[in-house]
Structure 1
Amino acid sequence: MLFNSVDFALFLPIVFILYWFVFNKNINLQNFLIVVASYFFYGWWDWKFLGLIAFSTFVDYSIGVALSKENRPLIRKILLWTSISVNLGFLGFFKYYNFFLDNFVSAYSFFGQEINVQSLNIILPVGISFYTFQTLSYTIDVYRKQLEPTRDFIAFSAFVCFFPQLVAGPIERATHLLPQFYKKRVFDYSKAVDGMRQILWGLFKKIVIADNCAEYANEIFNNSGEYSGSTLLLGAFFFTFQIYGDFSGYSDIAIGTSRLFGFDLMKNFAFPYFSRDIAEFWRRWHISLSTWFRDYLYIPLGGSRGGTWMKIRNTFIIFLVSGFWHGANWTFLVWGALNAIYFLPLMLSGKNRQNIDIVAQGKYLPNFKEILQIIYTFLLTVLAWVFFRAENVAHALSYLANIFDTTLFSQPQILPTTLIALLALFIITEWLQREKNHGLEIYGNGLLKHRPIRWGAYIGIIIIIFSFGGSQQEFIYFQF
């Protein structure tokens, strides 16, 4: 069930009414409703994968209970690795089986050996990478004794399958989200209204920005040999805004929807395209995944505490794993490696945390140095996204090579002026709201604190969505 669909527009108010007006007297019934609604929401795609979520939920719940009763280090480690093996085993099979099999066959063929194996027609369950990491956070935190294991199976099930963020995050930590299912929720009008604002902004990002950019990005990438360097560069720009509008738009809708039900999810994007270096970009892009890898992989490996070799090794591991998490294709590994190469000079020089504040905080415009830093970082990001979008590494290299030929300075063969104007409106709005949590938040100072401007913005965005919305497409991160 897509957020930008009529189905969800009917589903959400029905669940909302039942939640607040029928089951509001009993927190257990509210949690049970969330589980039922979430399974219905997920089963709308393919009901056959509901068993996978249910099994993963049962395994991690049972292991959590077992860990609470066990003090022997060896047994605790066995329980932990059972959870890791089951969760990553499912993820590995559904997502990476054919990738490893095909590369194994290719490796044998390279040495002149032919083997006959058959790939499986495996359908990737929607959102498996997201809820797998979410349940793993629970088991790991219980093992580390950073979280008291729950004995409330319904609350734990609701935590695992919570429908707003089930299929594309944010990847919530058990320490943050699970305790919210134990507490009685009281309807907060101001939070609900702000949630609706964030949903509206997320829909604008997805329907107007991402879906329109997708049409041109797909055309240019799919026929890259036919276009000039300037057009290819424009196509890379379109994909850059497509993936941001698509993924951060989903996160906005997920966070806003959660607030309607009295839950607070973690911030997943913090206006990353205004970053002044790559380190800042990765503190602002897909925050829930970046911090997950930091806490459960990078720091256990030693983080930045060791010598130069260890820092380089850990940096490449974290970025390569992050790339591979996104998909079973060499392009994602190259994308991860390229970002590691971007990041290393900052880390080795101790400058990876020099830009932790908001750019031009308290000002309308950045200074000249900040403008150059933002442009430079943005261009590095655009070039890396080419590998993310390309069909294979050869396609990405060819695409980049064709950008930097003599036609780079020619007039683009595709120049959608309406879309460019919408992108300009989008960028200006995000810039003005960069100190807020989302593009329509009104807390504090800002133009939106004035009611006429605020309502004018609401009406204007709704008109733009219906007038200029692109053709409906699935969210990009559903495939991950």
Structure 2
Amino acid sequence: MFFNSLTFAIFLPIVFFLYWFVFNKTKSSQNLILILASYYFYSCWDWRFLFLLVFSTFLDYATGIQIEKTENASTRKFWFWLSVGINLGFLAIFKYYNFFASSFATLLSDFGLKSSPFLLDVVLPVGISFYTFHGLSYVIDIYYKRIKAEYNFVDYSLFVSYFPLLVAGPIERATHLLPQVKVRRVFNFEKAKEGVYQFTWGLVKKVVIADGCATYANAIFDHYPAMNSWSLILGAIYFAFQIYGDFSGYSDMALGMSKLFGIDLLRNFNYPYFSRDIAEFWRRWHISLSSWFRDYVYIPLGGSKGSKSKQVRNVFIIFVLSGFWHGANWTYLAWGFINALYFLPLLLLNKNRSNIEMVNLKWNLSSIKEIASIFYTFILACLAWIFFRANTITDAFAYIKRMFSNGNFASQYLANERYNYELLAFVIVFVIVEWNSRFSIEPISGRKSGLKLALAIAAIIALGTFSDYKEFIYFQF
């Protein structure tokens, strides 16, 4: 069930009505209806994997209590590693086993040794990377005595399985979400209105920008040997906006619909393509994942303390892990490694925290430098996205080589031609709207919000209706 589907358009109002008009008397009844809705939502993908979600929930709930109840260090460590081991074991089996088995077989064949690896014929459970990280952060925080264990199973289950964030985040923390689900929510019209605005803008990002760009990005990447330099440049740009519109659009829809239920989720994107360096980009892109790796891997490794060599090591570990989290493919590892290389000069020159606040141009000489930095960072991001999108690392290098060596910048016809340059105009308009809204969360809100909402809905109906690409990219992670 996709957020941009007719089925979900029926599902959400029903849950909203039951939540506020039938099960609104107590906190427990509110949480129960949201859990039932979440389990139904998840079972629409594949009901068999619902058992895996419930088992993972119970595992972390039970081990969290056991860790808190005992003061014996070895016993606490046993329960901690039991939870971590099983959680990561599920990820290893469903997401990474075939990758490692195939890669090992390929390595053996390079040495002239034949092997027939045993591969698992399994489907990747949707959202497993996200709800696994929810549970891991919870157990880790209890183990290090940052939080208390949650003894109410219903409340904890909602924290893990809350349907707006279940399949593609943001990756929530117990310190942020659990206190909200432990109290009865009261309907707030202003918050609900903000939620409608944010959900609608997320839908615009998805069906107007991301799905429109996907049509051309797919055509260009799938036939890149026949594309000229101009088409390949457009393909990289279109994919950059496809993945941004797709993922940040999902996050906006998740945050927006959650406000309809009186719950605030963590902000996951903060206008990353207006970043002035790659460090700022990563503070604004997939914020919940970046902060998760920072708090649970980077800082425990020593973070920015110690020698430069250890700092460099920590940075490469974080970025490679981030790439590997996205999928079992060498292209994702390469994407993470490339971003680490981008980050390295900033780290060595102690400039990785130079741009903390959102860019605010004053239209002077320094602003020209800021604009140039934004364009430069966007180009770097686009080049890295080529590796993320390509089927193999060889394809990514071949794509880049042809992009720089072909030298033909003429307009090129595509078999699925519909509105190529009209789409480019839409992307430019989208960038302008985002730029004017970069200090807010809901670009539709504010002055003339009714007109903005009407225009957004018109764009969704006019362009989203003809979209060829319905799925969200991050559902595969």
Q: Give the TM interval when normalised to the shorter protein.
A: over 0.9
Give the distance between the partners of 1:66 and 1:43, measured in 2 at CA.
Answer: 30
Map 1:32-181 to 2 at 5 A: 32-181=32-181
Residue number among 434, 442, 450 corresponding to 2:438 in the alignment = 434
CA contact (8 A) 2:323 2:332 kept: yes
Give the distance between the partners of 1:293 and 1:50, measured in 2 at CA.
Answer: 27
CA contact (8 A) 2:280 2:355 kept: yes
Map 1:4-403 to 2 at 5 A: 4-360=4-360, 367-403=367-403
Unaligned runs of 5+ in 2: none
SS of the residue 1:428 aligns to:
helix
Q: Which residue of 2 aligns with 1:461?
A: 456
SS of the residue 1:407 aligns to:
coil
Note the C-alpha offset of 1:75: 1.3
Q: 1:339 to 1:33 in 2, by over 3 A?
A: same
Give the distance between the partners of 1:288 and 1:363, measured in 2 at CA.
Answer: 33
Q: Which amino acid is 2:29 matched to?
A: L
Note the C-alpha offset of 1:408: 4.9
Q: 1:191 to 1:247 in 2, by over 3 A?
A: same
Q: Which residue of 1 aligns with 2:475?
A: 478
Give the distance between the partners of 1:440 and 1:391, measured in 2 at CA.
Answer: 37
Q: Which residue of 1 aligns with 2:425?
A: 421
How many residue pairs are counted as aligned between the two chains? 471
CA contact (8 A) 1:360 1:366 kept: no
Give the distance between the partners of 1:99 and 1:149, measured in 2 at CA.
Answer: 36
Give the distance between the partners of 1:440 and 1:91, measured in 2 at CA.
Answer: 38
Give the distance between the partners of 2:147 and 2:18, measured in 1 at CA.
Answer: 31
Give the distance between the partners of 1:122 and 1:421, measured in 2 at CA.
Answer: 42
Q: Deviations over 1:429-468 (max 9, x none)?
A: 00000011232242xxxxxx2xxx3221111111111112
Q: Deviations over 1:201-247 (max 9, x none)?
A: 00000000000100000000001111101101100100000000000
Note the C-alpha offset of 1:394: 0.6
Q: Deviations over 1:128-187 (max 9, x none)?
A: 000000111110111111111011000101111000000000000111111211111111
Q: Which amino acid is 2:25 matched to?
A: K
Q: Which amino acid is 2:458 matched to?
A: I
Q: Deviations over 1:297-348 (max 9, x none)?
A: 0000011101011011000000000000000000000000000000011011
CA contact (8 A) 1:359 1:366 kept: no
Q: 1:271 to 1:209 in 2, by over 3 A?
A: same
Q: Which amino acid is 2:425 matched to?
A: A
Give the distance between the partners of 1:247 and 1:381, measured in 2 at CA.
Answer: 15
Q: Which amino acid is 2:102 matched to?
A: D
TM-score of the two chains, using structure 1 as the length reference: 0.96
CA contact (8 A) 2:361 2:367 kept: no
Note the C-alpha offset of 1:66: 0.6
Give the distance between the partners of 1:113 and 1:471, measured in 2 at CA.
Answer: 44
Give the distance between the partners of 2:157 and 2:366, measured in 1 at CA.
Answer: 46
Q: 1:413 to 1:390 in 2, by over 3 A?
A: same
Q: Which amino acid is 1:203 matched to?
A: L
* Residues 69-78 or 315-324, more deviating: 69-78
Give the distance between the partners of 1:305 and 1:116, measured in 2 at CA.
Answer: 46
Q: Which amino acid is 2:315 matched to?
A: T
Give the distance between the partners of 1:369 and 1:322, measured in 2 at CA.
Answer: 30
Q: Which amino acid is 1:90 matched to?
A: F
SS of the residue 1:387 aligns to:
helix
Give the distance between the partners of 1:26 and 1:366, measured in 2 at CA.
Answer: 55
SS of the residue 2:138 aligns to:
helix
CA contact (8 A) 2:194 2:442 kept: no
Give the distance between the partners of 2:255 and 2:33, measured in 1 at CA.
Answer: 19
CA contact (8 A) 1:155 1:178 kept: yes
Give the distance between the partners of 2:468 and 2:443, measured in 1 at CA.
Answer: 23
Q: 1:305 to 1:393 in 2, by over 3 A?
A: same
Note the C-alpha offset of 1:110: 1.4
SS of the residue 2:147 aligns to:
coil
Unaligned runs of 5+ in 1: 443-448
Q: Which residue of 2 aligns with 1:445?
A: none
TM-score of the two chains, using structure 2 as the length reference: 0.97
* Residues 61-70 or 453-462, more deviating: 453-462
Note the C-alpha offset of 1:12: 0.5
Give the distance between the partners of 1:383 and 1:206, measured in 2 at CA.
Answer: 22
Q: 1:7 to 1:67 in 2, by over 3 A?
A: same
CA contact (8 A) 1:209 1:242 kept: yes
Q: Which amino acid is 2:76 matched to?
A: R
CA contact (8 A) 1:361 1:435 kept: no
Q: 1:193 to 1:366 in 2, by over 3 A?
A: farther
CA contact (8 A) 1:198 1:438 kept: yes
CA contact (8 A) 1:268 1:285 kept: yes
Give the distance between the partners of 2:27 and 2:331, measured in 1 at CA.
Answer: 46
Give the distance between the partners of 1:138 and 1:88, measured in 2 at CA.
Answer: 14
CA contact (8 A) 1:234 1:412 kept: no
SS of the residue 2:7 aligns to:
helix
Note the C-alpha offset of 1:406: 3.8
SS of the residue 1:30 aligns to:
helix
Note the C-alpha offset of 1:255: 0.3
